[in-house]
Amino acid sequence: MPVWQHILYSAEITAEHYGRTVSVGGWVQDIRNLGGISFVQLRDRDGVVQVTAVKKRNPELFAEINSLQRESVLLVRGTVKESKEARAGFEVLPEDVRVLSAAESPQPLGVVDKVGADLDTRLNNRFMDLRKADIRAVFRIRAAALQGVRDYLLSESFIEVSTPKIVAAGAEGGATLFPIKYFDKSAYLAQSPQLYKQNLMASGLDRVYEIAPAYRAEASDTVRHIAEFTSLDVELAFIESSEDVMAVAEGIVDSSLRHLLTAAKADLDLLGVDLSVPEPPYPRIRYDDAIDLLASDGMKIAHGDDLGTEGEKRLGDIVMEKHGALLYFITEFPTSLKRGTFYAKRYDEDPERTGYFDLDYKGQEIVSGGQREHRYDVLVEQMRENGLDLEAFDFYLKAFRYGMPPHGGFGFGIERYVQKILDLPNIRETVLYPRDRVRLVP
């Protein structure tokens, strides 16, 4: 067997390679045997290369190729030849073929078959599901969206940090915590890095972000909930109000969407997504006004209640109709709704209101946050209102006793964001290996 050259991906082969010997590798997508000639569609990460084997040129190689099962992994060394019949505009005439891995049959999931498969079957065989170009495109788009996020934050002097995911206390109460055994102690998987990123505001690292997993033990079998998700968390100090925080959220989304227009254009085109990039600033809608808008549309929500999934969707339709806005803030949430968020800053002139906001995208919340309470005495009182054990939060409170600047931030749900960018029917489509109430494997 000859020494193999550097393997080229299908997208790397150009007219300059015509007449030259190259090596290509990939999965056998299909084999069409016409008797004296066989066409092998060899799929790699970028596309498909047609390998054309002629029986009379090499009967043994021809027989070996035609004995293969689809999805077997091959390395092929051969000559590139222009071909108007081949989809890529060229074909490879094989000189040597190496079977790296022969696939079994029958296979658990089709890759190019017309017959569809339900989501559970696809997720149970995710490695094969990801061989489909449109499925891989989702994750390339996700990666590009995060690159746009990082580009903006780095340009605004934020630094990326990492905080613990095994914690002694929850940032949002115990109802949705996953308990774990930590040596001889009880601990939890982190719902959010909230307590740590606020702690950092007293350190001089006053503009931070983290992109990391977070965990919510919500028994919700919906198309928008998962138990393990990726959260972009941002915190910044020396702010005047929640408007400073909203400006950062706007900058992140604007940078991310604009980056996608160039970096992910081919994948967006593959999925048929015509991406719209709204110009900031995004509309601000006070919570009270959102309740009134829904009431005028026939949907009654009591003041102080959460809008809920249906309320968010309905409001998204109304805002689109009235303002033509895909992205908009819901602001000034009542204290009664955010009371469990003990660190939310309330208005001094009206303690029943907070500066907290949601950023909704196409009728779904993707960001939630606002200005935090930085005054120690007020924060302690709000924690007591929520029945929290102050001793359990000593490390958190200590930072507020020794110089804490005004600050704020938010959590940004990456999966929900990607789901709305691509209008996917289920949030699990945006996760390589999703975790929900029933799925723990693979």
Residue 170 shares a structural domain with residue 27: no
Q: Could you tell me which residues are beta bridge partners of residue 229?
A: 214
A 10 A CB-CB count for 187 gives 17
- 159-160 and 178-182: which strand pairing? unpaired
Residue 175 shares a structural domain with residue 263: yes
Mapping DSSP to helix (H, G, I), strand (E, B) and coil, where does residue 120 land?
helix
Q: Which two tokens stand for residue 339?
A: 């009371």
Average pLDDT score, the chain: 95
The domain boundary, picked from 83, 101, 119, lies at 101
Residue 80 shares a structural domain with residue 206: no
Q: Which two tokens stand for residue 45?
A: 């990460």
Residue 93 shares a structural domain with residue 213: no
CA distances from 426 to 38, 363, 423 (A): 40, 15, 9
Residue 56 shares a structural domain with residue 135: no
In a domain, 366, yes or no: yes
Asked if 258 contacts 264 with a C-beta cutoff of 8 angstroms, the reply is: no
Alpha helices in 156-185 (DSSP H): none
In a domain, 26, yes or no: yes
In a domain, 349, yes or no: yes
Residue 177 shares a structural domain with residue 271: yes
Residue 66 shares a structural domain with residue 163: no
- Give one word for 298, left, alpha or beta, with left for phi > 0 and alpha for psi -120 to 50: left
Residue 308 shares a structural domain with residue 401: yes
Q: What is the pLDDT of residues 387-414, one digit of tens each?
A: 999 998 999 999 999 999 999 999 999 9
The domain boundary, picked from 82, 101, 120, lies at 101
The DSSP-derived string for 347-361 is ETTEEEEE--EEEEE
What is the CA 282 to chain-centroid distance, rounded? 22
Residue 323: name the closest of 380, 370, 290, 282 by CA: 282
Q: What is the pLDDT along the chain (442 residues), one digit of tens a residue?
A: 454 558 999 999 999 999 999 999 999 999 999 999 999 999 999 999 999 999 999 999 999 999 999 999 999 999 999 999 999 999 999 999 999 999 999 999 999 987 889 999 999 999 999 999 999 999 999 999 999 999 999 999 999 999 999 998 776 656 789 999 999 999 999 999 999 999 999 999 999 999 999 999 988 889 999 999 999 999 999 999 999 999 999 999 999 999 999 999 999 999 999 999 999 999 999 999 999 999 999 999 999 999 999 999 999 999 999 999 999 999 999 999 876 789 999 999 999 999 999 999 999 999 999 999 999 999 999 999 999 999 989 999 999 999 999 999 999 999 999 999 999 999 999 999 999 999 999 9
Residues 6+ apart with CB under 8 A from 348: none
Amino acid at 111: V
- Give one word for 361, left, alpha or beta, with left for phi > 0 and alpha for psi -120 to 50: beta
Q: What is the pLDDT of residues 215-263, one digit of tens each?
A: 999 888 899 999 999 999 999 999 999 999 999 999 999 999 999 999 9
Residue 257: name the closest of 421, 416, 367 by CA: 421
Residue 180 shares a structural domain with residue 31: no
Residue 139 shares a structural domain with residue 92: no
Asked if 37 contacts 55 with a C-beta cutoff of 8 angstroms, the reply is: yes
Residue 360 DSSP one-character state = E
Q: Which residues of 134-160 are buried (b: 16+ CB within 10 A; e: fewer)?
A: ebebbbbbbebbbebbbebbeebebee
Cα angle, residue 193 at apex, residues 188 and 196 outer, rounded to 5°: 105
For residue 395, the surrounding DSSP H or E stretch is helix 394-401
* CATH number for 151: 3.30.930.10
What domain count does the chain have? 2
In a domain, 112, yes or no: no
382 CB burial (10 A radius; 0-12, 13-18, 19+): buried
In a domain, 441, yes or no: no
In a domain, 74, yes or no: yes
Residues 6+ apart with CB under 8 A from 430: 138, 142, 414, 415, 418, 419, 422, 424
* CATH number for 87: 2.40.50.140
Residue 64 shares a structural domain with residue 189: no
Mapping DSSP to helix (H, G, I), strand (E, B) and coil, where does residue 249 land?
helix
Q: Give the range of the structural domain holding residue 207, as residue numbers without chain letter.
A: 129-430
Cα angle, residue 380 at apex, residues 376 and 385 outer, rounded to 5°: 150
**For the chain, what is the radius of gyration of the CA atoms?**
27
331 vs 324: CA distance, rounded Å: 18
In a domain, 222, yes or no: yes
Amino acid at 378: V
306 vs 356: CA distance, rounded Å: 13
N-term to C-term CA, the chain: 37
Residues with catalytic roles: 216, 218, 224-225, 365, 368, 416
The DSSP-derived string for 418-435 is HHHHHT-S-GGGG-SS--
- Give one word for 158, left, alpha or beta, with left for phi > 0 and alpha for psi -120 to 50: beta
Helix axes 287-296, 308-323, angle to 10 degrees: 90
Q: Which two tokens stand for residue 25?
A: 């590798």
Residue 214 shares a structural domain with residue 287: yes
In a domain, 38, yes or no: yes
